[in-house]
C-alpha cells in the first residue's frame, strides 16, 4: 500500500479587534454562568454538506499541543474551533454560517479573496504579515462575543450595528485568509479572554480537567461532539489520489471501465494517531480478495490520505461490483498489541 500523510496547519485568523488579545492561563475564567450565552449551531451543517471539528483549542501551557480531552486535535497556540467541510466542491455549493446566539454585529469584513494554500506554503505564509479573513463578530451582552472567520468572499450579508436572532445567516463557509482547507474558525470571547465552548476554560490552562461549563445547546453538543477520528472522503479511481484532487472532489467515481489500467481504493480521514493500525482490503466482483495490507502510523496526523492500488492484468476487469474496506484500529494502551476498532469504511464501485 502506498500512502500519503499530510498534516494541515491552520493558523488563527481572528477579527481585527482581537489582534492584540492575550490569553489568560488561569484555569478558572472570571465570568458568571448566569450571564453567559447558550450557543446553537454556528453552521448549517447537514448530512449532505458534512462538517466535522478538525481542530479544537490548545490547552497545553507549553510549546506542545493538546485539546481539551488531552488528544492531538489542535496545534500550538490554537484559540478557536475549526469546523471543516469535506471538500472545495461542498464549499462551492454553499454552506451557511449562522449566528450562534442573539446579538449585535460589531465587526465584519467581506473583501478578502478565497485561497487554499498548499501545506508547504503555510510556514512561509506565517513569517509574513498576518493575512486577515472575511469575518463577522457578534456582541451578546455582558462581555460575551462570538467571532466567525474564513468566510467566503462576497458572502457576508450582515452589517455593523445590525441586531440578529440566533440562527440567522451571516455568510458562507469559505477559505479566505491563511488556510489549507475550507472551514469556519469559531471563537468565543469574554471581554478579551478566549473561552473554550466545550469546557468553559481558558486556552493553555491544562487538559483533562473537569469542565467548568459547556456553552453548546443540546443540538450543537450532539452534532459537534468530540470525535477522535472520522472519515472525510473515500472512493475509487484509476489513478493514485492527491490531496488537491480530493479537495476538488475529482477522485470519486460511480463506475469505472473494464479497461482501467488499475483499480485504486482510497480514503481520506482525520484524527490519525501514532501507532494506529491501518488495514485495507480490495475485493473483486466474486468477493475474492484482490490485495490487502496492514500498516502502522508513525506519527499523529490531522488529515491523512491512504490508498490501495491493484493493476489490471492482460485481460479486462470482469464486470461486477467491487468493494474496498478500510479499518482504523487504535492500541488499547501505549505499546499494546491489542486494538480497538475506531473507523470502518466500506465503499463499492461498478466496473463495466
CA distance 154 to 172: 9
pTM of the model: 0.86
Q: Which of the residue ranges 88-92, 287-291, 311-315 would you say has the lowest mean pLDDT?
A: 88-92
pLDDT, residue 23, reads 37
pLDDT band at 249 (very low <50, low <70, confident <90, very high): confident
Q: What letter does residue 124 receive in the DSSP assignment?
A: H
pLDDT, residue 206, reads 92
Domain ranges of the chain: 9-223, 230-351
Q: Is the pLDDT of residue 121 over 90?
A: no
- How many angstroms separate the Cα of 218 from the Cα of each of 184, 204, 207, 215? 20, 26, 23, 10
Could you say which architecture CATH assigns to the domain 9-223?
Answer: Distorted Sandwich (2.70)
Q: List, as one string, the DSSP characters of 274-340.
A: TT-EEEEEEE-TTS-EEEEEEEE--S-EEEEEEEEEEE--SSPPPSEEEEEEEEEEEESSTT-S-EE
Which grid cell is 335? 505499546
pLDDT, residue 7, reads 33
Q: What SS3 state is found at 334?
A: coil
Q: Is the pLDDT of residue 27 over 90?
A: no
Domains 9-223 and 230-351 share a fold: no
Q: Is the pLDDT of residue 112 over 50?
A: yes
Q: Is the pLDDT of residue 194 over 90?
A: yes
Scan for cell 470525535, then name that residue.
227
Residue 335 burial (CB count, 10 A): 6
214-242 mean pLDDT: 94
Q: Which of the residue ranges 10-19, 90-99, 129-138, 159-168 would you say has the lowest mean pLDDT?
A: 10-19
79-93 mean pLDDT: 92
Residues 144 and 129: beta-carbon distance below 8 Å:
no
Q: Which of the residue ranges 3-7, 51-55, 173-177 would you say has the lowest mean pLDDT?
A: 3-7
Tell me the sheet residues that pair with 228. none
Considering the four listed CATH numbers 3.40.50.150, 2.60.40.2550, 3.30.479.30, 2.120.10.30, the one that applies to the domain covering 230-351 is 2.60.40.2550
Q: List, as one string, the DSSP characters of 197-254.
A: TTTS--TTS-SSPPPS---B-HHHHHHT---S-EEEEEEEESS---HHHHHTT-S--S
Q: Is the pLDDT of residue 129 over 70?
A: no
pLDDT, residue 51, reads 82
pLDDT, residue 334, reads 87
Q: Is the pLDDT of residue 145 over 70?
A: yes
164-170 mean pLDDT: 98
pLDDT, residue 89, reads 87
Range with the largest mean pLDDT of 84-93, 123-132, 151-160:
151-160
Dihedral sign for Cα atoms in the order 47, 341, 330, 120? negative
pLDDT, residue 123, reads 64
Q: What SS3 state is found at 108?
A: strand
Question: pLDDT averaged over the chain?
Answer: 88
157-181 mean pLDDT: 96
CA dihedral 313, 315, 320, 325 (to 10 degrees): 0
Q: Of 212 and 326, which is predicted with more confidence?
A: 326
pLDDT, residue 25, reads 38
Amino acid at each position: 500500500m502506498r500512502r500519503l500523510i499530510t498534516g494541515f496547519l491552520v493558523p488563527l485568523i481572528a477579527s481585527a479587534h482581537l489582534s492584540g488579545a492575550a490569553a489568560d492561563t488561569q484555569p478558572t475564567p472570571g465570568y458568571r454562568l448566569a450571564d453567559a450565552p447558550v450557543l446553537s449551531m454556528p453552521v448549517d451543517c447537514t448530512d449532505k454538506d458534512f462538517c466535522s471539528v478538525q481542530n479544537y483549542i490548545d490547552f497545553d501551557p507549553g510549546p506542545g499541543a493538546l485539546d481539551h480531552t488531552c488528544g492531538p486535535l489542535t496545534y500550538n497556540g490554537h484559540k478557536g474551533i475549526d469546523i471543516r467541510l469535506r471538500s472545495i466542491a461542498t464549499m462551492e455549493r454553499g454552506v451557511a454560517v449562522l449566528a450562534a446566539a442573539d446579538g449585535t454585529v460589531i465587526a465584519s469584513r467581506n473583501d478578502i479573496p478565497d485561497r487554499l494554500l498548499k501545506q508547504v506554503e503555510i510556514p512561509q505564509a506565517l513569517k509574513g504579515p498576518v493575512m486577515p479573513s472575511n469575518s463577522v463578530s457578534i456582541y451578546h451582552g455582558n462581555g460575551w462575543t462570538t467571532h466567525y472567520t474564513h468566510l467566503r468572499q462576497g458572502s457576508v450579508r450582515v452589517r455593523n450595528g445590525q441586531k440578529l436572532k440566533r440562527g440567522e445567516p451571516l455568510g458562507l463557509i469559505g477559505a479566505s485568509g491563511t488556510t489549507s482547507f475550507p472551514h469556519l474558525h469559531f471563537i468565543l470571547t469574554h471581554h478579551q479572554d478566549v473561552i473554550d465552548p466545550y469546557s468553559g476554560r481558558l486556552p493553555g490552562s491544562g487538559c483533562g480537567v473537569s469542565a467548568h461549563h459547556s456553552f453548546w445547546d443540546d443540538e450543537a453538543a450532539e452534532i459537534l461532539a468530540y470525535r477522535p477520528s472520522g472519515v472525510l472522503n473515500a472512493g475509487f479511481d484509476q489513478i493514485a489520489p492527491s490531496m488537491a484532487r480530493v479537495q476538488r472532489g475529482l477522485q470519486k467515481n460511480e463506475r469505472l471501465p473494464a479497461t482501467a489500467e488499475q483499480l485504486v481504493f482510497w480514503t481520506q480521514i482525520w484524527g490519525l494517531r501514532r501507532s494506529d493500525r491501518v488495514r485495507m482490503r480490495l475485493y473483486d466482483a466474486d468477493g475474492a480478495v484482490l490485495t490487502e495490507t496492514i500498516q502502522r502510523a508513525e506519527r499523529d496526523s490531522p488529515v491523512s490520505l491512504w490508498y490501495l492500488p491493484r493493476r489490471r492484468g492482460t485481460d479486462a476487469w470482469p464486470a461486477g461490483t467491487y468493494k474496498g474496506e478500510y479499518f482504523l484500529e487504535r492500541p488499547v494502551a501505549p505499546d499494546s498489541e491489542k486494538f480497538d476498532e475506531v473507523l470502518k469504511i466500506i465503499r463499492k464501485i461498478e466496473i463495466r
